[in-house]
Structure 1
């Protein structure tokens, strides 16, 4: 009997839902596919593309601003520049270390926006005092250079003045 019952054809259904429930489920899937999934994918794309920026900030990379710009350009160019930004964030800036003696830089706090003139801000504290002392130490040297420039300008003017025995310059003269 069990065999006979199992061999009888059973009705099949294409979906577990039917009628109004099937329409509701289709609407939910459509909303997910059209709105929620693209927003989630764009958010994930954005998060992945700012990772080099975050890494460079964490490692106190001295070229952080350039890495940020490269990350933004990578968004514009569909991610083509992102691997370059990632590699740049992990590199040690050798030339910066040769020039400044360190391969790390102090960056502004997270909440503070970078202004166009943030590099031109007035120094204060020990750095300002050291630069003023350096300028005072070099003042005699600067005065001597100014004196030499004035004397050379006067000698050049005398050499080109025909009333003082010099020769007048014409447009045909070669230098």
Structure 2
């Protein structure tokens, strides 16, 4: 006679454990996606506003900021009274055509001390306010200055400043002539008396 084998009962999860497992699975599922807080016509209006902002205002702001950053070297050179300001401005302008590759060179140039300029001209700064603008290469060479001097001589004497200077010169010449005449009259009789009596002059 065979002994009867009773199967061992499997442990079952209580109902509470099953409910917790189902809640965890439900929480792990992704929620339904919402593209925006807005919907319908409000969503279309918001999209139109953002697109016009991105098409019109953002490029203007970016170009303005780029330009302000791009002219920084010439502003620095002007503030530091750099004698080669015109060359730095030209380099900044050329940098626009080369995609900004020359801009770091202009930046470094604006901060450098112009040693060769100081050796040649005795100074490493320039007074741009006096000339109204940066020195040009012709001005550095002295050609522009001589040209302006010759133009001032050849110009008609109708300019008010030149007339005022010419009037002062004429008045000074007349004053010198009157002083010379007064000196000649004062020393004239004394010299004539000395010429008549040479013995007295010897005594």
TM-score, normalised relative to structure 1 = 0.58
Q: Deviations over 1:57-110 (max 9, x none)?
A: 00000000000010011112110100000000000000111111110001137x
Is 1:95 aligned to 2:116, yes or no? yes
Is 1:26 aligned to 2:47, yes or no? yes
Q: Deviations over 1:28-47 (max 9, x none)?
A: 11012111111111111111
User: 2:57 aligned to 19, 36, 42, which one?
Assistant: 36
Q: Deviations over 1:119-170 (max 9, x none)?
A: 425369xxxxxxxxxxxxxxxxxxxxxxxxxxxxxxxxxxxxxxxxxxxxxx
Q: Distance in 2 between matches of 1:113 and 1:93?
A: 18
> 1:11, CA displacement in angstroms?
6.3
Quote the RMSD (CA, aligned, Å): 3.4
Runs of 4+ that moved beyond 6 A: 7-11, 113-118
Q: 1:118 to 1:24 in 2, by over 3 A?
A: farther
Say which structure is richer in helix. Answer: 2
Report the secondary structure of 1:102's partner residue: coil
Q: Distance in 2 between matches of 1:41 and 1:82?
A: 17
Q: 1:59 to 1:78 in 2, by over 3 A?
A: same
Residue 81 of structure 1: aligned partner: 102
Compare CA radii of gyration and give the structure with the larger one: 2
Q: 1:101 to 1:64 in 2, by over 3 A?
A: same
TM-score, normalised relative to structure 2 = 0.51
> 1:13, CA displacement in angstroms?
2.8
Matches within 5 A, 1:1-175: 13-108=34-129, 119=139, 120=144, 122=148
Q: How many residues align?
A: 120
Q: 1:21 to 1:88 in 2, by over 3 A?
A: same
